[in-house]
Amino acid sequence: MSAPCPGAVPPTEPLTGRRSLADLFGGEVFLTDGKSAQVRRDGVDTRLAPTAATRLVDVNLDPPFPNAPGFRAVDLLAEPGFVERFRPRVVSTTLALAWVAAGKRAAYVTDGGDLSESVHFAAGIALCRAAGCVVTGIDGAPVGRAGRGLVVAADGETHRLLMSSIHDGGRHRA
């Protein structure tokens, strides 16, 4: 198991209330009480286990881009270290967070401000924290009122590699 990353919120941090998201087409409901995370399929709950094995990273390219020009998700896709280590996918759905928690994706990256209370991200963030994912902003700081986007990784090593690619991507811009 990887060590926590600086700025990451520990998965044991208390969360208030139950949260859930549903993949209606996939027949799955992802659930958390803030302490554990499960997926319910055909009435059976299975504990979520994040893993970076797929090397798939979902990147959201939808505006707004409040952190440009310092961070632009599209530049991440062209960063050599990123494409050597990961297999990028472009997606804009809160289900991408559930997929990281379930081990179907290695990570998810999106630009933005404070997403911790967003109707589109709050349940997914809670699910990922409860499953043991590393959850930070694109700057590596904790997600919250002063937040800058979102990086959710299955483990500390994947998070470290993503943060390196995010920072390296900024050096390649004219």
Tokens of 166: 């995010």
Entry pTM: 0.84
Q: Which residue has the tokens 């896709």?
A: 77
Residue 147, pLDDT score: 81
**CA dihedral angle for residue 89, residue 91, residue 93, residue 98, rounded to 10 degrees:** 0
Q: For tokens 């994947």, what's the residue?
A: 158
Report pLDDT digits (tens) over 54-84.
Answer: 999 999 998 889 999 999 999 999 999 999 9
Per-residue pLDDT tens for 102-143?
A: 999 999 999 998 898 888 899 999 999 999 999 999 999 999
Whole-Å CA distances, 30 to 4, 15, 17, 46, 95: 24, 16, 14, 10, 9
Among 144, 156, 157, which residue's Cα sits nearest to residue 112?
A: 144
